[in-house]
Structure 1
């Protein structure tokens, strides 16, 4: 046979070896991609909530009025269900009720891949005074992933000064701890 007339290409053996290598790599890469997506969802939800709280505090200072952050029920009153939309609105009478649509500063859509749980004592809101202080409504919020993986969950703490910070994992077990040193819980 003349070597100049040879047609280039892959042999069946070369193709099978390539497929085996690609499938082996995919076996390890695909589960990592799922975790990467969950981490990205968490990062987005936490960053958006920090921005929302900072917006509320800054709006209270700039407008020199009380600003409330909460989910609203069908009567436009603050409710306890933080899994849906969360509204930031001017609340000059500190009534925890949206008087009119003109008072809305921002409405945050529900977070993807998880939900927020707020721990604000007996209050279903966070309130910022004209000085920026979170008067009578300090507490924390926990972002709980929909898959229940507590290593992805995060907690935001709002102090009396109106500042927000993230809790950290102090014992290295992969789950952040609350102010008492106990792992946060989504149940």
Structure 2
């Protein structure tokens, strides 16, 4: 007598084939995950800058924007927080008397972010007119240091931020001078 259906053995074979296919597909997903993670970090920085700029214009106050590892002090090399605050005492650090607008945890633990600002400052200041006292950029390099996944957020002297672009089509975002971003090896 014949019975229709699948046996436990058939099910185990099907699951083994699925597991084999998934194990082959997962490494192929890593570049895509790294790309989207990098883009997420750059958009988070971009939106924090936009928030600081809008606050400065609306409240007629200078706003300091910077990256930080401690969550309170501006640093050039960082990977944990982006700070947006009114720095009443101009010490590039959130302290008593400062108005904290945003301290946002940045998902850059698997990489590093470098702040490149005019005069080698670790921060920029947005004025009530919306312009930046110090033009510059924040550059994200993933833990793999693969420049194909690096991202750049730049703001010009009039305070307009923009996301870096790959102008020449080689897959690597360029600095404003046209040279490709380089991540430390």
Q: Give the TM-score of the pair, scaled to structure 1.
A: 0.82
Equivalent residue number for residue 119 of structure 1: 116
Residue 89 of structure 1 aligns with which residue? 85
2:46 is equivalent to residue 44 of structure 1: no
**TM-score, normalized by length of structure 2?**
0.82
1:145: Cα distance to partner?
0.6
- Could you list the runs of 5+ residues in structure 1 that have no partner in the other structure? none
1:109 matched residue in structure 2: 105
Residue 182 of structure 2, aligned match among 170, 179, 185: 185
Q: In structure 2, the residue corresponding to 1:48 is in which secondary structure? A: helix
Among residues 53, 56, 59, which one is paired with 1:63 in the alignment?
59
User: Mind listing any 5+ residue stretches in structure 2 that lack a counterpart?
Assistant: none
Aligned pairs (5 A) from 1:135-154: 135=133, 137-154=134-151
Q: Aligned pair in 2 of structure 1 residues 71, 176: CA closer, same or farther (>3 Å)?
A: closer
Shift of 1:85: 2.0
Counterparts of 2:159 and 2:52, CA distance in 1:
9
Pick from 156, 160, 167: which aligns with 2:157? 160
Q: Which has the higher strand share?
A: 2
Correspondence 1:134 to 2:132: yes
Q: How far apart are residue 79 of structure 1 and its match?
A: 2.9
Distance across 2 between alignment mates of 1:93 and 1:66:
11
> Aligned equivalents of 1:11 and 1:97: distance in 2?
67
What's the C-alpha RMSD, in Å, of the aligned pairs?
2.7
CA shift for structure 1 position 69: 0.9
2:124 touches 2:132 (CA, 8 Å); kept in 1? yes
Give the Cα separation in 2 of the matches to 1:51 and 1:16: 49
Distance 2:177 2:92 in 1: 29
Which structure: larger Rg?
1
Q: Deviations over 1:132-167 (max 9, x none)?
A: 1001x1111111111222111111111111111112
